[in-house]
Amino acid sequence: MQRIIFAALLGISGAAFADSGILNKDCVSCHNITGPAAQTLKEAFAKKGPALFYAGNKYRQEWLVSWLQKPQRIRPAGLYYGDHIKIGAKSDEIDAATLKDHVVLSKDDATAVAAELMQLKAHDDLIAKEKIEPGTITKQNGEMNFDKFWGCMACHLIEPEFGGLSGPELYTAGKRLQPEFIASFIRNPQAWEPKTWMPNKDASNGSIQKFVQYFDVLSRESANAK
């Protein structure tokens, strides 16, 4: 009811909010949209796509709309990374032949699906605990905090060509993710995904605020223009 009024107020056709049926038809074979998260490694190894049951607390809606129309790889080694690497000359390498392109949606479908995903709001409690403090950081200090003080570059690309490959690229984190999610996930990754490959590094709140600010700075750079 509320939604109908809201849609009418905005002058948007009610159809944009109706269940398009796409998620259940084309997405649930790879994405968990109901929860709970993987509780065992067996389940975690078998994941074919990231969990989406808390999508509404994680992603920026406008990013979802554009990415679903033009998906580009976020996790350089896919999911589960161990299934997409091979022994290389200097170190293990990504086995690109094993990675598949993501399904592409039309503009209308992407808009409808993004709106539906934004309603999947598991873990409101974790989000409510986060307070994003206003402030900014220089790129240099942000990089120092990320690479040197906390060693986060071990698993994450922080530039298109610099960093680790088992986690999602983070130079795009600011445009993809809600700041409260970023803070909450770093504070306690296991609260979101009990079996995640990301360790809890016990980062102080001050450092967590700096990560959020740093990703925001990076999101304004040209590498993010894609």
Please tell me the distance from the alpha carbon of residue 152 to that of residue 58, in angstroms, as a whole number: 20
In the bound state with another protein, the residue whose beta carbon lies nearer, of 6 and 149, is 149
Smallest gap from residue 226 Cβ to another protein (A): 21
**Cα–Cα nearest to 44, from 189, 217, 146:** 189
User: Using CB under 6 A, which of the segments 87-95, 124-132, 134-142, 166-174 binds ligand HEC?
Assistant: 166-174
Q: Which of another protein, ligand HEC, none binds 200 (CB below 5-8 Å, type-dependent)?
A: another protein
Smallest gap from residue 103 Cβ to ligand HEC (A): 5
CB 169 within 8 A of CB 76: yes
In the bound state with another protein, the residue whose beta carbon lies nearer, of 130 and 193, is 193
- Asked whether position 75 contacts ligand HEC by CB under 6 A, the answer is yes
- Residues of this chain that bind another protein (CB under 8 A): 39-42, 44-45, 77, 80-82, 85-87, 90-94, 149-151, 153-155, 162-166, 188-190, 195, 197, 199-202
Q: Which of another protein, ligand HEC, none binds 185 (CB below 5-8 Å, type-dependent)?
A: ligand HEC
Smallest gap from residue 88 Cβ to ligand HEC (A): 19
Q: Which of ligand HEC, another protein, none binds 173 (CB below 5-8 Å, type-dependent)?
A: ligand HEC
- SS3 for the chain is CHHHHHHHHHCCCHHHCCCCCHHHHHHCCCCCCCCCCCCCHHHHHHCCCCCCCCHHHCECHHHHHHHHHCCCCCCCCCCCHHHHEECCCCCCEECHHHCCCCCCCCHHHHHHHHHHHCCCCCCHHHHHCCCCCCCCCCHHHHHHHHHHHCCHHHCCEEECCEECCCCCCCCCHHHHECHHHHHHHHHCHHHHCCCCCCCCCCCCHHHHHHHHHHHHHHHCCHHHCC
Smallest gap from residue 87 Cβ to another protein (A): 6
Please tell me the distance from the alpha carbon of residue 198 to that of residue 57, in angstroms, as a whole number: 19
- Asked whether position 193 contacts ligand HEC by CB under 6 A, the answer is yes
- Asked whether position 194 contacts ligand HEC by CB under 6 A, the answer is no
State the residues that interact with ligand HEC by CB under 6 A: 22, 26-27, 29-31, 48-50, 64, 68, 73-75, 78-79, 102-103, 105, 113, 150, 152, 154-156, 166-168, 170, 173, 177, 182, 185-186, 193, 196-199, 201, 203, 211
